């Protein structure tokens, strides 16, 4: 579905990505973890060509997105939904108006159809009774859910999540995890999730890739990831009190 081939990106004189290669399979939830500055969000931006590799290729299906431009690039981007880290809601629009925005800007749907789709999508994220509220009137977790509704309003094939549980309490974080899982099952989307939250990664990931020093140092399903012998992986796991013998291993 998405393929990185020997992708290198240098920013401010540093190779943030250094020969990175992986593929994301259709229908899976591919999770990218790693310390701050490891290149996780940079990786996401390459998928929709907000950034272009200095070397290597990024493909979506059979199309080389890293070389696409104009109408071809626009068609590729229409296959994606993007949940930004802060939700990125427009403060002067209601929740429903925020969610409707991609349909009003990018389609010729009639108003009645748009309202129906918005209500259906708000229901998917548990906000069907909150569409009339302003972003300032809802909690941070609800803002993330509203941002997610806007990301999926056009029913994309692929949804990119940039730190979806950042700044949220543990209970709300697990609610977001459940939503990501539920949308994958209900809509059949392929998901790519960037997160610092290993509990989230282990809960929702089909496979987990860890970036460190510009390279992928581990790529494995959750049950294998927690047993990794890579030093940086072990440090990252132990920093969040996850061990090979812990409940995650038993559950998986």
- Do 6 and 56 touch, CB atoms closer than 8 A? yes
For 105, the 3-state DSSP assignment is helix
> Residue range 56-62: average pLDDT?
92
Looking at beta carbons, which pairs linking 64-71 to residues 24 or more positions away fall under 8 Å?
66/7
**C-alpha–C-alpha distance, residues 146 and 148, integer Å:** 5
- Do 127 and 109 touch, CB atoms closer than 8 A? no
Residue pLDDT, tens place only, 95-108: 999 999 999 988 88
Residue pLDDT, tens place only, 197-245: 888 899 899 999 999 989 999 999 999 999 998 988 888 888 876 766 5
Q: Give buried/exposed letters for 16-36 (b at 16+ CB in 10 A, else e).
A: bbbebebebeeebbbbbbbbe
Predicted pLDDT of residue 27: 92
Give the position of tokens 């989307």.
Answer: 189
> Residue range 5-29: average pLDDT?
94
Predicted pLDDT of residue 212: 93
pLDDT band at 69 (very low <50, low <70, confident <90, very high): confident
User: What separation in angstroms does the CA of 131 have from each of 118, 123, 143?
Assistant: 9, 10, 11
Residue pLDDT, tens place only, 80-89: 988 877 667 8
Predicted pLDDT of residue 250: 43
Predicted pLDDT of residue 244: 60
- Do 5 and 17 touch, CB atoms closer than 8 A? no
Predicted pLDDT of residue 245: 54
Say if residue 31's pLDDT is above 50: yes
Give the pTM.
0.88
- Residues composing the chain: 252
Predicted pLDDT of residue 243: 62
Say if residue 67's pLDDT is above 60: yes
Give the position of tokens 């809509």.
Answer: 187
Say if residue 139's pLDDT is above 50: yes
Say if residue 252's pLDDT is above 50: no
Predicted pLDDT of residue 208: 96
Say if residue 51's pLDDT is above 90: yes
Instruction: Determine how many CB atoms are found less than 10 A away from the CB of residue 246.
Output: 13
For the record, the structure tokens of 226 come out as 């927690």
pLDDT band at 4 (very low <50, low <70, confident <90, very high): very high
Please state, for a pLDDT cut of 70, what percent of the chain lies above it.
95
* Mean of all residue pLDDT scores within the chain: 88
């Amino acid at each position: 579905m998405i393929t990185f081939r020997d992708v290198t990106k240098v920013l401010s004189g540093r190779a943030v990505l250094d020969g990175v290669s992986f593929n994301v399979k259709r229908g899976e939830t591919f999770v990218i973890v790693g310390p701050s500055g490891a290149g996780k969000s940079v990786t996401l931006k390459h998928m929709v060509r907000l950034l272009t590799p200095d070397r290597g290729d990024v493909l979506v299906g059979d199309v080389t997105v890293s070389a696409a431009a104009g109408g071809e690039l626009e068609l590729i981007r229409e296959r994606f939904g993007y949940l930004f880290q802060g939700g990125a809601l427009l403060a002067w629009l209601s929740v429903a108006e925020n969610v409707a925005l991609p349909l009003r800007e990018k389609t010729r749907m009639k108003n009645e159809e748009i309202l129906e789709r918005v209500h259906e999508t708000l229901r998917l994220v548990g906000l069907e009774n909150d569409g009339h509220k302003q972003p300032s009137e809802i909690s941070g977790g609800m803002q993330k859910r509203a941002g997610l509704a806007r990301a999926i309003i056009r029913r994309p094939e692929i949804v990119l999540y940039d730190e979806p549980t950042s700044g949220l309490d543990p209970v709300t974080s697990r609610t977001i995890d459940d939503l990501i899982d539920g949308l994958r099952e209900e809509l059949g989307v392929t998901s790519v999730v960037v997160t610092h939250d290993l509990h989230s990664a282990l809960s929702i990931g089909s496979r987990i890739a860890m970036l460190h020093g510009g390279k992928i140092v581990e790529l494995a399903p959750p049950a294998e990831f927690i047993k990794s012998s890579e030093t940086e992986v072990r440090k990252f796991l132990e920093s969040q009190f996850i061990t090979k013998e812990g409940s995650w291993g038993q559950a998986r």
